[in-house]
Amino acid sequence: MKLTIIGTGYVGLVTGACFAEMGSHVTCVDIDKEKINNLKNGILPIYEPGLENLVHQNYKEGTLNFSTSLEQASENSNIFFIAVGTPPGEDGSADLQYVLQVAKEIGRTINEYSVVVDKSTVPVGTADKVKAAIQKELNNRGVNIEFDVVSNPEFLKEGAAVSDFLKPDRIIVGADSQRAEKIMKRLYAPFSRNREKVILMHVRDAEMTKYAANSMLATKISFMNEISNICERLGVDVENVRKGIGSDSRIGYSFIYPGCGYGGSCFPKDVKALIKTSKDEDFIPELLNAVERRNNLQKKVLSAKIIKRFGQDLSKKTFCIWGLSFKPGTDDIREASSVEIIKELINAGAAVKAFDPVAMDQARKEFSENWFEKRQLIFEDNQYKAIENTDALILVTEWKTFRQPDFKLMADTMRGLIIFDGRNQYDPEEVSEAGFEYHGIGREKV
């Protein structure tokens, strides 16, 4: 099958590469000429394990191509995936300007029956707007061409997106015509060899499913972070509580790890968007409001612990931060806890040295260049170089390389033997035996 993917960001590039891997002929379109040229030269705009090899191989074989021209890419293609960004507005709503602009261009381009697929995460009712935008352009052209708009939300975890796409738990397809359903089931047939994974529903149901799924996962995280704060005040180790409740099959272990808040491009944005959608319908989403409030507060927990330990004035202190990305396996630092922690520490007078296996280039864009020039913020190319002559280590992102550190080497090079464990990765007893003072999340008496 021949597909056109509009947008070469995280969702679009993974979608295009994985469909090409399964035998479809895919053209990814983007208006950013530099990005398209880079992709043709094997330079990807994002880090995602396994994606680079997939893109290189399929581009070499001719099943994956890149273009800045939607008209050229759409030749002999009647399936269009919209995979452009939907950044949050100031009021929390999803900004649909790029989605609707693509819809207009599709309306100016198609010459035969087409299926237009919303792959971007969009609010309920967006398909109706996309349909109206396409129909308006067709009317302007004076042509009568049938088309269907389908909702096919992505459920990709950053750091495991390729595996998630190639081996999905489920494939949600929201369509209001059997013709579109048939095409989508055929398109996804290679991904459903062992069992039928396509779940058919109405378009609006599919749009809501995406928001409900991400909001549910965010709720689990915020709930566990809430419990961790209660545990600290009661002298309870939240890690034992986590194991105790996770063993209940009705709850499970996924997404109940206490930490310093969730981030990324999905959970914060989608929770905000669903809150805004609810309020637009005169409904106050009390639970979702609480989920967002708890997450905002949780991002300040580590800074509060540090200030409590060292005092308000940090002008003579230097801290090491391990991990900048919002989670392991990605270079995405959008809404990452590390950004807020670094800003709070430097604003309190501290200097910060940081290391991340892949996210330092992206992270640099988030901070004042003046901080780097004055060496208030230093990015080191080695995790152990980053801890030299520092007063404490702050673990923010639980990359594998940080899981079993050399405490002996750390003790020899750090100025202060203190660890603030923002992801509860370390055993407090082991850390104490190595001579370090330990501060975790929900693991100490306040």
Angle at 235 between CA 230 and CA 236, to 5 degrees: 70
Q: What are phi and psi of 262, to 5 degrees?
A: -90, 155
Residues with Cβ within 8 Å of residue 327, at least 6 apart in sequence: 158, 159, 263, 264, 397
Give the residues across from 420 on adjacent strands: 394, 439
Strands (E), 211-368: 318-322, 351-355
Residues with Cβ within 8 Å of residue 350, at least 6 apart in sequence: 314, 315, 317, 318, 319, 376
Q: Is 331 in contact with 325 (CB distance < 8 Å)?
A: yes
Q: What are phi and psi of 73, to 5 degrees?
A: -70, -30
How many Å apart are CA 138 and CA 105, to the nearest integer?
Answer: 10
How many Å apart are CA 99 and CA 138, to the nearest integer?
Answer: 17
DSSP assignment letter at 262: -
Question: How many CB atoms sit inside 10 A of residue 286's CB?
Answer: 9
Tokens of 301: 């927990």
231 is catalytic: no
Question: How many CB atoms sit inside 10 A of residue 25's CB?
Answer: 17
Q: Is 396 in contact with 302 (CB distance < 8 Å)?
A: yes
How many Å apart are CA 81 and CA 20, to the nearest integer?
Answer: 14
How many Å apart are CA 82 and CA 98, to the nearest integer?
Answer: 9
DSSP assignment letter at 189: G
Within 332-441, residue ranges assigned H as helices are 337-347, 360-364, 369-373, 383-386, 407-413, 428-433
Instruction: Look at residue 53 and give its three-state secondary structure.
Output: helix
Of the residues 18, 231, 260, 266, only one is catalytic, namely: 266
Q: Which of 24, 104, 102 is nearest to 64 (CA)?
A: 24
CA distances from 417 to 235, 406, 424 (A): 23, 13, 17
Active site (catalytic) residues: 266
